[in-house]
Structure 1
Amino acid sequence: MDILIIEDEKNVRNELKQLLENAFYKVAIVEKFEQVVEQILTISPDLVLLDLKLPGQDGQMICRALRQTSTVPVIFLTSDSDVMTELDCILLGGDDFITKPYAPSLLLARIQAVLKRTINQPTEQFVLTHKGVSLNISTYKVYVEETEAELTKTEFKLLHYLFQRKGEVVPRMDIIVYLWDNDVFIDDNALSVNMTRLRNKLDTLGISDFIQTKRGVGYQL
């Protein structure tokens, strides 16, 4: 599924792009804010994430013009929490309205709901399964059959990264860089602590050897 991000704040745009790519979406971005509707029609995404306050032309104007020629789902993503603004956006043809700052799991769930409602997107795309263990990337939950456990953001990112590289021995440093990609020094022990917590949650599901430790190297599913 292709999602187009229309957001003028670079940091927010990059965070959204990373989040969506981690959820296995194909992502395109708009960086020039002239002729935005024409860009949308050319890219032809399955869904548009649209900010309200943009250079030159605001999100409502873009949505109004877009609805003259396209029914592509539009989710407004904005820091404006005014109820009347939300109502206006929905009346203009928006499919949902999410206020910043948003919880990543909530955003993914709302995207899933809009896609499912508008183009019958199968729920299975949002679930990764390996050796009987399933990870729902829109709810941050891991489950085995009917039993489930909710993960913290770091636990989810850790397990999700291992799912992405299942079968490989993933070095500890690769995981540390992925989880804490910033300029702050992270003690190596932080990974061990989060791995222990994740394994404890898997234990509650009856899975005790799902994540194997490769001594001196890293971890493997």
Structure 2
Amino acid sequence: MFKILLIEDDTTLFQEIKERLVNWSYDVYGIQDFHQVLQEFTSVQPDLVIIDIQLPKYDGFHWCRMIRHHSNVPIIFLSSRDHPADMVMSMQLGADDFVQKPFHFDVLIAKISAVLRRVHDYNAEPASLKVWCGAAIDLEKNTVTNDHGEVELTKNELFILKELIQHKNHIVSRESLIQALWEDERFVSDNTLTVNVNRLRKKLDEISLGAFIETKVGQGYLAKEKDDQ
């Protein structure tokens, strides 16, 4: 179980985030004394830190600097401040990501999973949740969620997206997709596959991801991954 130190002084928000993270099997710790953040960090020895910018006494940037003097633990900033300078500052201080409030919780989970996977070379991603291009793909709710919003997919659309992501950056032939759908008892014809892919891309356009599904004429389809993933 990964330990997460959540440095957030809003008690209501802290409890809400903690409850949701615990449901995803993370072990969550808070700060008792915001004058002693570094000492409590040392005591907990977390696998990941989530920190707000606006905090009592010193801000999140100060504590990020202090933590970075002692540890390379992954750090995600969580803040309502949206000025580009804040995001740049957080990256310059060594943060791994920046999540702006208000946020979709699935996006936060996706970012946590991605960071832990990169740092620990471990698949921390829940079995029911896939991460692609910074978006959370919930295989139980049939949804794709990112900072631009959320779209709901049909079973066929979700299955096609999952197949493409499993082979991301590689072409998946139309024949392979049709065969996979057939074996999953979701038989589709060649024409129906085209219709489903077009609908999938149109829905993904709503959250700025449609361009990452490419049609390779005469070959099949390809799901690209963003360069910064």
State the TM-score, normalizing by the size of structure 1: 0.60
The residue correspondences of 1:131-170 to structure 2 (distance < 5 A) are 135-136=128-129, 139=136, 141-142=138-139, 149-150=142-143
Residue 58 (1) aligns with residue 59 (2): yes
- Secondary structure of 1:75 counterpart: strand
Contact 1:49 1:74 in 2 (8 A): yes
Paired residue for 1:41? 42
Which residues in structure 2 correspond to 1:1-221 (within 5 Å)? 1-123=2-124, 125-127=125-127, 135-136=128-129, 139=136, 141-142=138-139, 149-150=142-143
Q: C-alpha separation between the residues in 1 aligned to 2:142 and 2:102?
A: 25
**C-alpha displacement of 1:37:** 1.0
Q: Runs of 4+ in structure 1 displaced over 4 angstroms?
A: none
Mark the runs of 5 or more structure 2 residues left unpaired by the alignment.
Answer: 146-183, 187-229
TM-score normalised according to structure 2 size: 0.58
Pair 206,16 (structure 1): closer, same or farther in 2 beyond 3 Å: farther
The CA deviation string for residues 48-76 of structure 1, in whole angstroms up to 9 with x for no partner, is: 00011000010000011111111111100
Give distance in 2, aligned partners of 1:36 and 1:137: 33
* Offset at residue 137 of structure 1 (A): 7.6
The offset of 1:151, in angstroms, is 8.2
Question: Quick one: which amino acid aligns to residue 55 of structure 1?
Answer: P
In 1: Cα distance, 2:109 partner to 2:137 partner: 10
Which consecutive unaligned segments of at least 5 residues does structure 1 have?
A: 128-134, 153-204, 208-221
Residues paired across the two proteins, number = 143
- 1:46 CA drift (Å): 0.3
Q: 1:141/1:62 Cα in 2 relative to 1: closer, same or farther (>3 Å)?
A: same
Amino acid at match of 2:76: I
Return the letter of the residue paired with 1:50. I
Q: For 2:30 and 2:80, how far apart are their aligned partners in 1?
A: 19
Q: Cα RMSD between the aligned structures?
A: 2.3
1:150 Cα deviation after fit: 2.7
State the one-letter code of the partner of 1:126.
Answer: P
Letter of the 1:101 partner, please give it.
Answer: P
- 8 Å CA contact 1:5, 1:48 repeated in 2: yes
Distance 1:206 1:100 in 2: 41
Give % identity: 34
- AA at the equivalent of 2:139: V
